Amino acid sequence: MSINWFKYASPVSFYPLAGRLIPWFVVVTVVLLFIGLYLGFFVAPTDYQQGEAYRIMFVHVPAAWMSMFIYLVMAAYAGLGLIFNTRLSSMMATALAPTGAMFTFLALWTGALWGKPMWGAWWVWDARLTSELILLFLYLGFMSLQAAIDDPRRAARASALLALVGAVNVPIIYFSVKWWNTLHQGASISFDKAPSMATTMLVAMLIMAVAFWTYTIAVVLQRVRCEILERERHSDWVIALVQEKQA
């Protein structure tokens, strides 16, 4: 038996699949957010150095992870779109960008709220903060290039190339911690040594990270559905779909 790997690469078959998947991801997101926030805000122990203020970490750290992850995923989709010329890949890249920009902004915002009680300043020109800001600029550049070009095909391809070029910046963000030795605390989760935080904290943070993932998937699927309808509005199946809805 041969499997048709590209079945869901076509917008026609992906559109209903996305519609069926979204409710599941929404439910999982709500449940996980509830559990994660409860664990983070009520169960996790108070930090002996930072007091209660550290609890913003449960939003800040997953948001920062997501902001970088989404850029890489976006660049990967953009690359796929350029190489295989699949319409859906470039639509996914388009749909991912606003969510990525939102998480980047959230990471900066919560970082400022965390920085004020800890460092005594809303903002410091530390390497990681600065790279996160640059990441926000990259997202904004991607979105504005796409918005400035009228032809959707050219817009998709041009912004895809920009995303790939910008992806070079993401490793620099990661290694910036090692390059510049500054105020920001080093990463407390690494794969080669035991994490330097209580288990409940770690569990809460990982649950929040998964919740952010499922949130992203739900929102992006919804956005990609809109994108499909918009770009394919002259195709027969979209016209039939609209007539069916109106009837």
Partner 1 sequence: MKRVGMSGALMLVLRRDLTLAVRRMSDVLTTLFFFVIVVSLFPLGVGPEMDTLREIAPGVIWVAALLASMLALERLFSGDYRDGSLEQLLLIPQPLSLLVLGKVLAHWLVSGAPLVLMAPLLGMLLGLSWDSLEVLLVTLLLGTPVMSLVGAVGAALTLGVRGRGVLLALLVLPLYIPVLIFGAGAVEASVSGLGAGAHVSLLGALLVLALCFAPLATAAALKISME
The answer to the question of residue 13 lying near partner 1 (CB under 8 A) is no
Among 27, 31, 165, 240, binds partner 1 (CB under 8 A): 165
Enter the tokens of residue 67: 């902001």
- d(C-alpha 176, C-alpha 66), whole Å: 18
* 157 binding partner 1? (CB under 8 A): yes
* Residue 83 is a binding residue for partner 1 (CB under 8 A): no
Interface with partner 1 includes 161 (CB under 8 A)? yes
Q: Is 148 in the site for partner 1 (CB under 8 A)?
A: yes
- In angstroms, the first-to-last Cα distance of the chain is 40
Residue 190, both tokens: 């690494």
CA–CA separation, 40 and 200 (whole Å):
8
**Which range binds partner 1 by CB under 8 A, 56-64, 91-99, 131-139, 183-191?**
131-139
Nearest residue to 160 via CA among 92, 223, 90: 90
Name which of 27 and 165 has its Cβ closer to partner 1: 165
Identify the residue among 13, 50, 86, 169 touching partner 1 (CB under 8 A): 169
Q: Does 206 contact partner 1 by CB under 8 A?
A: no
Q: Is 192 exposed, middle or buried (0-12, 13-18, 19+ CB in 10 A)?
A: exposed
**Residue 17 in contact with partner 1, rule: CB under 8 A:** no
Helix (H, G, I), strand (E, B), or coil: what is residue 47? Answer: strand
Q: How many residues bind partner 1 (CB under 8 A)?
A: 21
**Contact call for residues 82 and 158 (beta carbons, < 8 A):** no
Contacts with partner 1 by CB under 8 A lie at: 82, 134, 137-138, 140-141, 144-145, 148-149, 153-154, 157-158, 161-162, 164-166, 169, 172
